[in-house]
Structure 1
Amino acid sequence: MSIVPEAFKKVPMMFQAQVDGRCQIQRLDSDKKKQGATQDCDRWADEWIDKVDRQLPESRSGAQTRTFTFTWRLVSNSGVDDSVIRPVIGARGYPYYPGSSMKGVFRRACSSEQAARYCGKPLPGKDWEPGILRFHGGYPVNSDWTKGLVDLVHPQQGRQVKDQSEKSSAFVQVSLYQPEMQFEISSTETLSEAEWESIWGIWAKAIAQGIGSRVCAGYGQPQLSGKVEALYRVRLKGQGQAAKRIDESGEFRPNAFRAAIRGHAMRIFGGLTDERSTEQMVDRLFGGIRDREGTTGLLMMRFQASNLVVKPFGRGAFAQPAYEVEGELAWILTQPKLDEAEQKALRALIKALTQFAMVFGGFGKSWRRADHRLFFGEYYEDSHKPLIGCHWQWLGEASLVNDVQVRKLDRVSEFIDKVREAARDWMRLQKIQPARPADWRESWHPGRVEVWGREASDREDSEAIAWLHGAYQEKIAGVQERGSIYESSLTGGVGRIGRLWHRMYPVVGLRPPEKPGGKPIPKPTPRFLEVLTIFPDGSRESEQFLRFLRENQGTSRGFRRLWGGE
């Protein structure tokens, strides 16, 4: 009998054990990346979709169906493979959302009478009276559901906020990208059209807050025509560098909003109390895993894009995808029974944190930098350069009136204090006492951070953006030494996170209302507030740069310190 060498390699990845050397679809192999070899996750996905039956599953006789489009990704974890998040796969290879999960979600959206009629109710003793509805699950009906299945997740909070020495690596999950899901329900009784409309209305309400896994981070959110009840909502528009998939194509990832706001919560609370208390509060707000125990957060994020374009930028080795997006960001309360005082404080906190993110940075990759395409055009003129930075703005009259809290430099300090006070209010309700700040690189405490600013007349008037690439002070023999923060610990570099944020925040004024008792009218201007946020590290470059800023306060193009530096 002949023996086939390495026979296990001929077995499809789906049927191989998740062990090193066999199949590891949940992680990226750096050696394979260097060699240009196919990653296990790509091979797993290719083998799967190659064998999927191309004919859609047939609906059951008498069943009712409705189709819902999901705004981003849908994760329905099968739980089959150890440490791997991938869809439930049914007969003929089709991914589906299980009927049992569908029934559970539906039941939570019912009144007690509806739940008893449609889903069943307990009887005296151990008996159970079944409901009249049967939930058959859902499956994608769009022809391109097989595209973009490999989903990269790259946690960065530890490196971004705490310490660069914390390890950060990407891992893989398999999820459906913008699927059109057809859900199916049948009944043991003949129902009127009006009752079926009511049933599908309950289902629409049930999935409005998301289904599947990771809904708090924007997964599993359906496209809905009406507004979802939210704790706080705002319209935004932005542009920047899109996230790359393994195949180098681009994708705008709405979970960037949650990552940014969660990170800022860590910074603000970390400047007010100790590390353990900060992490406990942030986990309660956004959810998390600690000591292998999962926590469901109070807040869930939802972003519904009204306009999204992802297109390539640059050429050659520096070609990369870029996005332009407009849409509505909403923060939804996951526990409606939260008492009134906590709900009021939570609304003020999430509003303040979102405004904080807009004033001092942005969302997504390279959020610590202003978009060089807008404010440093010559950077791209003579050579191929990588895309740097992002730019975000408030969108719509309501946001420009209500969410723009900083309209001039003098308001920056007051705004920061307001954000910290919103955090203190929440701490008091959680019975958390102020304490020595967390010993993190970006704890937001006046002894750890300095905020400097100036007003720029237009987008070409940025003073600091050139300092990120060259000298801010030229050497004069016998008078002054050359000053530069380029490739220093302040500005960072490849694999190193800097300690300086640069933001060009659009100045929006207000005009008096046209009628007595009316609302003020927003007045966009060509001006920007140029803001530098610096976390000094005691290095020579850091101390020299701060001395330069102090010595040039009061000059026509100089920055002035707005907050911190105590």
Structure 2
Amino acid sequence: MKSIPDAHKKVPMMFRAQVSGRSQLHYIDSNKKKAGEKQDVQLWAEQWIEKAEFVPTEKAQEVETPTYQTKTYQISWRFVTNGGQDDGMIRPVIGAKGIPFYPGSSMKGVFRQACERAERAGELQYGSCKDYCGDESEITPGRLRFEGAYPINDWTQGLVDLVHPQQGWQVKNQQTNSRSSGESAYALVSLDRPTLRFGISSIKPLSPEQWQEIWQVWENAIAVGLGTRVCAGYGHVEAAQSEILYQVRLKGQGQAAKLIDDTGEFRPNIIRGSLRGHALRIFGGLTDANTAEQLVEELFGGVQGQGTAGLLGLGFQTADLKLGIFGQNGYEQPTYNVEGDVIWSLTRPLPDAEKTALQNLVTDLMWFAMVLGGFGKSWRRADHRLFYDNDDYQKLIGCHWQWAQKPDKSHALRVWNPKKVGGFIDSVLETAKVWMQLRGKTPTPNRHADWREAWHPSRVQVWGRIARTRDECVAISWLHEPYQKGISRGERHKSIKATSLTGKIGQIGRLWHRMYPPKVQVVKQDGKPQVKSTNRFIELLTIFPDNSQESTDFLEFLKNQPDGFELLWGEQQP
């Protein structure tokens, strides 16, 4: 009997042993990428959809009978169920005929939690949680059967997703050229904006009022998010947000995230990730590391212990999105130009005082992110395409975000010139302290987290000036050429390029550069202050000093107020 050459290569990836040379779905092989070969996970996905069947939308009509009903919901971004792993790779649950689905058991668990909350709040009128779901021991079965959900649109596009956790590297590590354990990029398989059809049946006929109550409980349940990685922005459902805490329209441009095939994708969860990082910085400057982590997981969710469902839900309604390419000669990078509504909502009820404090906190976090930085890749830098006056420069660095509409006056007047920045930062810290105290945590800024970017005046300095036009951006050139040239023979130029302060490939810097457009300014007219529109910018440098000579020299340089830079917040070192 003849042997089959390379027999293992004829076995589908889904059934191969997860060892090197056979199948490593979680691992991104850089050698295969350089050679233009497909990764194992890409082959896995292609082999899956080749054999899978589909449910066309036109054949998936809604059903409403006294004993069975269905409803359809659109996932706003990506979605992955919590039922399967291969070699550590997160993937959807796959049902009959290869169709991905959301299990009924998961659906029941999410429904029961929301049903119990509704019952405690006295919101159930036509049934009880025990009546609908049974008791926890399952000795007494409930009358409802949860059928789960499956996609009814084309779910086969963009399945292979890249995840790159960086919280330790971005915020905590003192050595910025080293990443924390577990912060390497890895692959997972998720559905891109699927339309899911959910089904619920009853062992006895139900009245229309009962069905309406059941679906209301379900919509309250899915406002928290569905599936896994909810705390990272996955599984959020359009038109299922709970009470809105803060809504604003933004527009921005920058470097798009890359999928495994190098195509670009705008990922709305960059806004959630940014606010999570800033919350960690702010709480890290007000209390110890463990307490700061707990506070952030309460807000945004997390996986510590038994896991935490966050209080904040994020929706992003895209009004306009253009994806493109910038650069040439090997520097080509995908780009986005986007406008949309950011909607922060409350995922479960809170007492009035806590709800008000949380509304103030999420509002201040959004303003903090907008004033001092941006969202997504390279957020620490102003967009070089707008502010770096060098026609030969073809690298894509930085991003630029602005209010798409004139911000409300009460908030806009908090930051309309550099001298307002310090007071604004102090007010954000006070808002965070109020939230901490309502959650039973006492601020201890004298015992703050030992993180690189913990937001404490002994660790960070914010410098700023006014730029009347974008052409008056000054600091961006200091990132590429000496900020001070030696004038005496033998005196060296002083530069921060490619240092620990500014970073380089594989190393995060300790300096943020932002050109913030406040949209308004206050001028005197007939002796009275008047609010006017403006196209000016506040140019800001946020610096987390280290003990390097480059950092010391640069801060000494800033003390001389070059081009009007002033220290706006933080403790100036002697």
The bucket for the TM-score relative to the shorter chain is 0.7 to 0.9
Contact 1:59-1:184 within 8 A present in 2 as well: no
Q: Distance in 1 between matches of 2:412 and 2:242?
A: 20
Pick which of 187-196 and 523-532 moved more: 187-196
Contact 1:235-1:399 within 8 A present in 2 as well: no
Q: Which amino acid aligns with 2:185?
A: A
Partner of 2:564: 558
Number of corresponding residues: 548
Question: Following TM superposition, by how much is the alpha carbon of 1:15 offset from its aligned partner in structure 2, in angstroms?
Answer: 1.8
Partner of 1:504: 515
**CA distances 1:399-430 after superposition (whole Å, capped 9, x unpaired):** 46536631111111111111222222333343
Q: Distance in 1 between matches of 2:244 and 2:356?
A: 13
Pick which of 448-457 and 294-303 moved more: 294-303
SS in 2 for 1:476: coil
Q: Which amino acid aligns with 1:90?
A: G
Partner of 2:526: none
Question: Following TM superposition, by how much is the alpha carbon of 1:386 offset from its aligned partner in structure 2, in angstroms?
Answer: 1.9
Partner of 1:325: 338
Partner of 1:515: none
Question: Following TM superposition, by how much is the alpha carbon of 1:20 offset from its aligned partner in structure 2, in angstroms?
Answer: 4.3
Q: Distance in 2 between matches of 1:498 and 1:126?
A: 55
Q: Distance in 1 between matches of 2:293 and 2:217?
A: 36
The one of 533, 538, 546 aligned to 1:529: 538
Partner of 1:41: 41
Partner of 2:30: 30
- Percent identity over paired residues: 52
Question: Following TM superposition, by how much is the alpha carbon of 1:458 offset from its aligned partner in structure 2, in angstroms?
Answer: 0.9
Q: Which amino acid aligns with 1:269?
A: F
The one of 459, 463, 474 aligned to 1:452: 463
The one of 379, 387, 392 aligned to 1:382: 392
Structure 1 residues 26 and 524, CA gap change in structure 2 (3 angstroms): farther
The one of 102, 106, 114 aligned to 1:101: 106
Partner of 1:362: 374
Question: Following TM superposition, by how much is the alpha carbon of 1:442 offset from its aligned partner in structure 2, in angstroms?
Answer: 1.5
Q: What is the TM-score when the length of structure 2 is the normalising length?
A: 0.86
For the pair 1:154 / 2:164, whether they are aligned, the reply is: yes
For the pair 1:443 / 2:454, whether they are aligned, the reply is: yes
Pick which of 386-395 and 14-23 moved more: 14-23
Unaligned stretches of 5+ in structure 1? 513-519
Question: Following TM superposition, by how much is the alpha carbon of 1:138 offset from its aligned partner in structure 2, in angstroms?
Answer: 2.2
Q: Distance in 1 between matches of 2:531 and 2:317?
A: 24
Question: Following TM superposition, by how much is the alpha carbon of 1:273 offset from its aligned partner in structure 2, in angstroms?
Answer: 2.8
Contact 1:162-1:441 within 8 A present in 2 as well: yes
Question: Following TM superposition, by how much is the alpha carbon of 1:80 offset from its aligned partner in structure 2, in angstroms?
Answer: 5.0
Q: Which amino acid aligns with 1:457?
A: R
Structure 1 residues 438 and 204, CA gap change in structure 2 (3 angstroms): closer
Q: Distance in 2 between matches of 1:177 and 1:438?
A: 37
Structure 1 residues 232 and 500, CA gap change in structure 2 (3 angstroms): same
Q: Distance in 2 between matches of 1:328 and 1:73?
A: 18
Q: Distance in 1 between matches of 2:50 and 2:342?
A: 37
SS in 2 for 1:321: strand
The one of 414, 423, 429 aligned to 1:405: 414
The one of 240, 247, 253 aligned to 1:239: 253
Q: Which amino acid aligns with 2:167?
A: Q
Structure 1 residues 486 and 206, CA gap change in structure 2 (3 angstroms): same
Partner of 2:503: 492
For the pair 1:299 / 2:299, whether they are aligned, the reply is: no
Map residues 56-95 of structure 1 onto 2, 5 A cutoff: 56=56, 64-81=69-86, 83-95=88-100
Partner of 2:189: 174
Q: What is the TM-score when the length of structure 1 is the normalising length?
A: 0.87
Partner of 2:280: 266
Question: Following TM superposition, by how much is the alpha carbon of 1:470 offset from its aligned partner in structure 2, in angstroms?
Answer: 1.1
**CA distances 1:225-263 after superposition (whole Å, capped 9, x unpaired):** x86413333332211111000111111112211221121
Question: Following TM superposition, by how much is the alpha carbon of 1:510 offset from its aligned partner in structure 2, in angstroms?
Answer: 6.2
Q: Which amino acid aligns with 2:570?
A: G
**CA distances 1:369-411 after superposition (whole Å, capped 9, x unpaired):** 01112212x33x235x221111111233454653663111111
Q: Distance in 2 between matches of 1:277 and 1:83?
A: 30
Q: Distance in 2 between matches of 1:26 and 1:450?
A: 40
CA RMSD of aligned residues (A): 3.2
For the pair 1:252 / 2:266, whether they are aligned, the reply is: yes
**CA distances 1:112-139 after superposition (whole Å, capped 9, x unpaired):** 444549963659x9753542x5443322
Contact 2:74-2:196 within 8 A present in 1 as well: yes
Q: Which amino acid aligns with 1:382?
A: D
Q: Which amino acid aligns with 1:69?
A: Q
Partner of 2:232: 217
SS in 2 for 1:473: coil
Question: Following TM superposition, by how much is the alpha carbon of 1:31 offset from its aligned partner in structure 2, in angstroms?
Answer: 3.4
Q: Distance in 2 between matches of 1:158 and 1:318?
A: 28
Q: Which amino acid aligns with 2:507?
A: R
Contact 1:401-1:510 within 8 A present in 2 as well: no
